[in-house]
Amino acid sequence: MKHRILLTIATVVAASTMIFGTVMAAKPPVPSPLDLVWAAISNLQTAVTGIQNTIAGFWDDSTNTLTASKLSYSPARTHVYTLSPFDFGPTNSEVKFNRFDGGEGLSVAADTPNDFGRMIAPVHLPDGAEITDFAVRFRDNSTSDFVVHLNWTQWVGGSEASLADVSTEGFSGEQWANDDTISHPFPEAPYIDNGEFAYEVVAQWGDPDGNNLQLLGVIITYTISEAE
Ligand SMILES: [Ca+2]
């Protein structure tokens, strides 16, 4: 009888333990602060990996180097490229020119033969730049005028044409004049391509008039979206 009572008690205890254990196991675990920290770190790692994939590159701690296939400005950045009278040179020995000699800018002597008064300055813009404006500052105190062209020349074949043009005709005194209609040889992709073209500014005095017709400076405005 004593043994039966003990066996019954043992059975009840075992059953209770089993039921209690099952209830305890079903209760969801409460995360510890350490678990939360590890979860946050894991999420951060995932985010960093996503950023790395987005820029198609990676950061190397050992060399402090960021490797990426391309770095872009968004929106594109605007810059200016300037030319002073000292950037221009004559096209041949017939041109008698002055720079800051009896005037404030670049001029061609009145006794230079007509149509020989050409002065040229090279333009070096980064590949991928898009020209948006061509502005010329000048002084015109003459009945005659001069024109300033922003030209491209193709390396192969030597084709040449203007991207933009400014004339002093109709102006008097010291002025800015500009042309923001840019005629690019490839209008569908109007970007500087130094592998295909050379670029230069050509000032042409068809009827030179000395210091009465002075070129004071040039500003070319361009945008660029790729970091160099
Ligand atoms: Ca004039």
Which of these ranges, 46-55, 73-82, 115-124, has the smallest mean pLDDT? 46-55
Domain of residue 93, CATH code: 2.60.120.260
Residues 124 and 209 in one domain: yes
Same-domain status, 150 and 102:
yes
Task: Tell how far the Cα of 87 is from the centroid of ligand 1, in angstroms.
Answer: 23
Structural domain count of the chain: 2
d(CA 44, CA 52): 12
Report the mean per-residue pLDDT for the chain: 87
Residue 134: name the closest of 161, 169, 162, 106 by CA: 162
> Residues 198-216: pLDDT tens digits?
999 999 999 999 999 999 9
Which residues span the domain enclosing 124?
72-226
Residues 6+ apart with CB under 8 A from 195: 127, 155
Q: What is the 142 CA–ligand 1 centroid distance (Å)?
A: 5
Same-domain check for residues 38 and 121: no
CA of 213 to the centre of ligand 1 (A): 8
pTM equals: 0.73
Check whether residue 160 and residue 106 sit in a common domain.
Answer: yes
110 and 44 in a common domain: no
pLDDT digits (tens, 9 = 90+) for 171-190: 999 999 999 999 998 899 89
The verdict on 220 and 109 lying in the same domain is yes
